[in-house]
Amino acid sequence: MFKQLFNDLYSYRQLLKSNVSKEIRGKYKGSFLGVLWSFVNPLLMTLVYAIVFPFVLKTGQPHYVTFLIIGVLPWNFFTTVINQGTNCILVNGGIIKKVYFPREILPISIATSGLVNFLISSIIILIFLFFSGVGYSFNILFYPLIVLIQYILSMGILFITCSIDVYIRDAEYIINFFIMMLFYGTPVLYSASLFPKKIRTILNFNPMCPIINSYRDIFLYKKVPDLSLLLIVLVESIVLFVIGLKVFNKLQKGFAEEV
Amino acid sequence: MVMKSKNDNNYAIIVNNVSKKFKLMYDKPYTLKERIVFWKKSKVSYHQVLKNINVKIKKGETVALIGVNGSGKSTLLKLMTKIIYPTEGTIITNGKLTSLLELGAGFHPDFTGRENIYFNASIFGLSAAEIDSRVQEIIDFSELGEFIDAPVRTYSSGMYMRLAFSVAINVDAEILLIDEILAVGDQHFQDKCFAKLKQLRDSDKTIVIVSHSLGPIKDLCNRAIWICDGEVKEDGSTKEVIDDYLKVCG
């Protein structure tokens, strides 16, 4: 199954490439700021949270804005991939009906364009670290590992959601709601350490929770992330990816008839 | 998985006991609400398009699929490209395959002709380098000249078709599946396409064409398959099959 996937991806690499760039450039086509929106957007979000939440939550979190941006950017990566990718098969229905190409290209290019976006916007994190006086440490070297885990995770979920969405159109809205709910179950606005140990254990069932905590560890707290927990998330993500690919492969046979 | 035997390698396309049913649903439940409320209520009927088709096409053959409207020719072609999958049976294809079911599928109206060449050829599975080496040939064949750098939405339908055909025919696939598109452009361009198809035929590419233009087909193909009500009615030399077909349907 994987060999087939890699072969397909290799021979259709040009399609993947042009799809990814279309996804990145095309999204804000016609707007004044263009691609810059993908950086301005999370910054504005962070600004709102930074103004509102210190009043509500009394977090006492030092470097709260930096703390926020390290949470908001990865979360943004995750939600953009899932929310915008879920209907990627439906949106491309016209072409699916007329031409054969490996259908996996569609969700993979959504996840990859999200990844590229995130990699670039990570510069914002570095800028914030510099200006808030937090500085850098060698633990940043863990960054590629965490990003990779998140990439596999979101792609796995996307495989499932986008193929189900073809058959049940509600999936999109249900998933949007679920992601919104998950936002509050993920320590983006708050620190997981606010909670007693029991609740923290429950929170860690949400794979995005250890991922965001790890980003904070390497950037803000300048320490080694919880590697055993990350390993579990990595295994979870790979399992989810395999299941996702299986579901996708099964459902994709009906795509041309259902869209 | 079906095991491939050794002599299967001489074949470009093997269609094995293929049947295809389409689900016809009145008030198809798209949403969850509809699925729950109309649970087991929605009328489902099946439309059998293809029944137990067995066709083997050798490498280098040029085959015409003929038959009246709704007989299942295009469905068979779509099955061969793996756009849809058979309800029963298997289809094996050997070699790089390109299909021209609809010209200009995947053209982006805001992009220029040149950009669309890249985009469309990449859908057919070409790499950037492969497209680079062909792009001039494609532009020359399409005879679009300076318009190639204008957005495709400004094209006339003839120009659009010419560009689409030029891309598809220059992809260099081993198997070419074509659905009723010989009527591209003016007489001059049609002749040119026809000559190109003949050239491809003689360079041992495998070509499968669905068409109602029997005249050109007689000239181009060495084998014809007559499909009638989803079954193979006759399979043989183009002339005989077309003559028999005309007796019944002409």
- Which has the closest alpha carbon to B181: B199, B200, B170, B166? B166
- Cα dihedral B83, B89, B92, B93 sign: negative
Which residues have a Cβ under 8 Å from the Cβ of A217 and sit 6 or more positions away?
Answer: A139, A223, A224, A225, A226
Stretch (H or E) spanning B47: strand B44-58
Residues B161 and B142: their CA atoms lie apart, in Å, by: 9
Q: Which of A11, A17, A94 sits opposite B125 (nearest CB)?
A: A11
User: B22 and chain A: CB distance < 8 Å anywhere?
Assistant: yes
Q: Return the residue of A nearest to B129 by Cα.
A: A14
Q: Do B131 and A14 touch (CB under 8 A)?
A: yes
Closest A-chain CA to B23: A257
ipTM given for this complex: 0.80
- Chain B CB contacts of A11 under 8 Å are 125, 127
**Which chain A residue has its CA at the smallest distance from B29's CA?**
A168
Could you tell me if A226 and A234 are in contact, meaning their C-beta atoms sit under 8 angstroms apart? Answer: no
Quick check: A250 contacting B, CB < 8 Å?
Answer: no
Judge whether B31 is closer than 8 Å to chain A, CB to CB. Answer: yes
Domains plus CATH for chain B? 6-95+212-249 (3.40.50.300)
Which of B83, B122, B125 lies at the smallest CB-CB distance from A97?
A: B83
Give the DSSP per-residue string, B49-70: EEEEEEEEEETT-EEEEE-STT
A103 contacts on B by Cβ (under 8 Å):
none
Which of B20, B84, B118 is best to mutate for the A interface (most A CBs within 10 A)? B84
Per-residue pLDDT band at B184 (split at 50, 70, 90)? low
Into how many domains does chain A fold?
A: 1
Q: Using a CB-CB distance cutoff of 8 angstroms, which residues of chain A are in contact with residue B32?
A: 168, 170, 174
Model confidence at B174, pLDDT cuts 50, 70, 90, reads confident
Cα separation, B148 vs B163, in Å, equals 9
- Distance in Å from the first CA to the final CA of chain A: 25
CA distance A58 to A63: 13
Whole-number Å distance between alpha carbons of B33 and B30: 9
Measured distance CA(B6)–CA(B26) in Å, rounded:
46
pLDDT (tens, 9 = 90+) of chain A, 259 residues, equals: 788 888 888 888 988 988 898 888 777 766 777 778 888 888 898 898 888 887 776 667 788 889 999 999 999 999 999 998 999 999 998 889 888 889 999 999 999 999 999 999 999 999 999 998 888 999 999 999 999 999 999 999 999 999 999 988 888 899 999 999 999 999 998 888 888 889 888 888 999 999 999 999 999 999 999 999 999 999 999 999 999 999 999 999 999 888 7
Give the pLDDT score at B181.
Answer: 66
Confidence of residue B2 (pLDDT cuts 50, 70, 90): very low
Question: Residue B2 has what DSSP assignment?
Answer: P
CB < 8 Å to A95, chain B: 105-106, 123
Strands across the sheet containing B44-58:
B44-58, B11-25, B88-93
Crossing angle, helix A143-167 and helix A64-85, to 10 degrees? 30
Nearest residue to B74 (alpha-carbon basis) of B86, B65, B85, B61 = B65
Domain of residue A62: give its range. Answer: 2-258
The pLDDT-based confidence of B42 (bands split at 50, 70, 90) is low
Q: Is B118's CB within 8 Å of A11's CB?
A: no
Query: What span, in angstroms and rounded, lies between the C-alpha atoms of B60 and A258?
Result: 34
Asked if the Cβ–Cβ distance from B31 to A169 is below 8 Å, we say yes
Q: Do B105 and A96 touch (CB under 8 A)?
A: no
Dump pLDDT digits (tens) for B91-133: 998 888 888 887 767 788 888 899 889 888 888 888 889 999 9
Q: What are phi and psi of B21, to 5 degrees?
A: -115, 140
- The more confident residue out of B184 and A153 is A153
CA distance A82 to B151: 32
Question: Using one digit for the tens of pLDDT, what is the confidence trace for A6-39?
Answer: 888 888 898 898 889 888 877 776 677 777 888 8
> Which one of A15, A99, A257 has the shortest CB-CB distance to B84?
A257
Residues on chain B touching A94 (C-beta within 8 angstroms): 105
Residues B33-46: what's their mean pLDDT?
72
| pLDDT surpasses 60 at B5 | no
